[in-house]
Structure 1
């Protein structure tokens, strides 16, 4: 029996309660996932050294390519599915889900082929030097062979959240992360496998959660059902999913370009030591930003469902609460990173030079951290609404339009510190852009008039011109 109430409660229960119930599990899950990345780096730093951490940092853009495609499928599909469920169109939602699975299979084949053909040249292109290339190859080869497991796990996780089952999403992320940490210790220290052991641990843990997700969908516990007939690819569905997922794809892809640019400038104006240092600082940054990602992920099902159901008063309440909470969290992050950066670095290493350099870098990176909440939340709002253009502008702005140019320019004047300085400047610019776009679209997001789904909603497949699946026909202003 399908749990239809799983999604219907998004339009019934109080917004503060729902946002807490959806965001807290997402935060916990993201925290645990970030923790496993941190433990991964700690194990490799102590077992192999800072050069191995540099090798992992060089390989990170390849992982971000996989994640970019997974984000496009998962978050794009989640946005479409949540609005279809809000419009009571379960059949169309199942078709979207089936097509996402088909796309994952296709992507996994490409990943496996890449492992045997272009991996080493790609890593060299991304900045791997002879001293660290071996570490990068050892890590990425198993990861690429397991592309299906990573893509399936990430995409279905987003879909589970889209139907309001944040608790399951949290539990699965916790299971994956804890298992990954245990396997890391076994493979890296027990079997003395170094960075390749870390890769094996990641692939095996992703395999476990893929099995759990598959069981969830096949046993009727989801609002969705997985049927063979829905796997048949439909161009208009695939186009719609990728159109809405494009901002997430561009954000991840831009992140990959950003890492390549940073690694290149750090080697040019510093050394491989600074690439390894960036690998550590980056993981600390990811860990600290997880609460904001959790808020954004918790908001998206609420925004998408209530927009699809034309419950605009609930949509407005969700947006305001999300903005307030994200701003408060951003301020707390700023205070913590200004006061305690040294202690974060001491977790990863006992090397005094690494600790001092990392402490200085963190304080520069987080100098305007109180700005970062609003762009993260606004990007999630526009994506959940299916406003592809707006979400794309926000997803590209910080990294592609602001950060990368600054990373390429500032080191010529400030050396390695110029790389770190690019981050707070881009955060401030992204905040300004997000606030502007939010103000320009206030009539769409902050309206109070509720309509009836039966008379006003069009959630159709195939897609009509200038519409997205499940988007109401109510007039809106879009920048």
Structure 2
């Protein structure tokens, strides 16, 4: 309400006027293309949580669902830090890509990957050195704590490389590579996690449900690394060609 009051206040330098704001198709298309990747990722995350809970109820009961909820909450603490880094990288990466400053683009990408990896390594260390205290923040039930410790350790097993996958996905979104960004956003959840949630429990029961999480993290990070390596080679070649044209 306060924002609308400011935007409609005629005494302000910037304010809304009737009849002068019209949607421009190319701008709307650009906005949608940039926002579709995180939208699909969040939508798929909701679907995955529903599917995950159903599998946990089937193979582990309500206690397993509670353990997953605790492990997911602990994981989100660190994931939110990485999301913040991604959002901070967006305008810098987009500007340098648009101005063809390849060196600065690579520096900001490497710095963001380094920071995200540091955060996720910290998460991994906490998950393996102090899982009891993480679970203890949410419950006092001994059995739920026991299952939550296992869930936290397995869920965050591949976190040292998950930060890389998240940054790379956001990087392609920043530079307008929408299709690649969407593919990487959906790869972990739709391409890998859901099939693994169907297949692995048939062989390993509840352990198969838990094991599907780090397995999908590893596969998604591997795909991101392959795509990023290919793109980096093309970007370096493009930078060399631009330097040759200038000289």
Q: TM-score range by the shorter chain?
A: 0.7 to 0.9
Alignment partner for residue 321 of structure 1, among 111, 118, 135?
111
Asked if structure 2 preserves the Cα contact closer than 8 Å seen for 1:261 and 1:408, the reply is no
* Residue in structure 1 matched with residue 160 of structure 2 by the alignment: 370
After superposition, give the CA deviation of every residue in 1:282-340 in whole Å (9 maximum; x if it has no partner): 11111122222222111111011222233332212111211222222222221111111
* Residue in structure 2 matched with residue 423 of structure 1 by the alignment: 213
Deviation of the 1:360 alpha carbon: 0.9
Asked if structure 2 preserves the Cα contact closer than 8 Å seen for 1:394 and 1:434, the reply is yes
> Distance in 1 between the 2:106 and 2:66 partners?
44
Alignment partner for residue 124 of structure 2, among 328, 334, 337?
334
Matches within 5 A, 1:79-98: none
After superposition, give the CA deviation of every residue in 1:447-467 in whole Å (9 maximum; x if it has no partner): 65798xxxxxxxxxxxxxxxx
* Residue in structure 1 matched with residue 140 of structure 2 by the alignment: 350
Unaligned runs of 5+ in 1: 1-210, 452-479
Alignment partner of 1:396 is 2:186: yes
* Residue in structure 2 matched with residue 193 of structure 1 by the alignment: none
Alignment partner of 1:239 is 2:18: no
Quickly say closer, same or farther: Cα 1:226–1:353, change in 2 above 3 A.
farther
> Distance in 2 between the 1:419 and 1:231 partners?
51
> Distance in 2 between the 1:354 and 1:251 partners?
29
Quickly say closer, same or farther: Cα 1:228–1:444, change in 2 above 3 A.
farther
> Distance in 2 between the 1:445 and 1:212 partners?
45
Partner of 2:137, secondary structure, is helix
* Residue in structure 1 matched with residue 94 of structure 2 by the alignment: 304
> Distance in 2 between the 1:309 and 1:228 partners?
35
Matches within 5 A, 1:40-439: 211=1, 228-229=18-19, 231-439=21-229
> Distance in 1 between the 2:112 and 2:138 partners?
33
> Distance in 2 between the 1:435 and 1:390 partners?
12
> Distance in 1 between the 2:200 and 2:4 partners?
48
> Distance in 2 between the 1:289 and 1:441 partners?
25
Deviation of the 1:404 alpha carbon: 1.2
Aligned residues between the structures? 237
Aligned-pair Cα RMSD in Å:
2.6
> Distance in 1 between the 2:201 and 2:2 partners?
47
Partner of 1:348, secondary structure, is coil
Quickly say closer, same or farther: Cα 1:238–1:421, change in 2 above 3 A.
same
After superposition, give the CA deviation of every residue in 1:422-462 in whole Å (9 maximum; x if it has no partner): 111111111111111111111565565798xxxxxxxxxxx
Asked if structure 2 preserves the Cα contact closer than 8 Å seen for 1:311 and 1:450, the reply is no
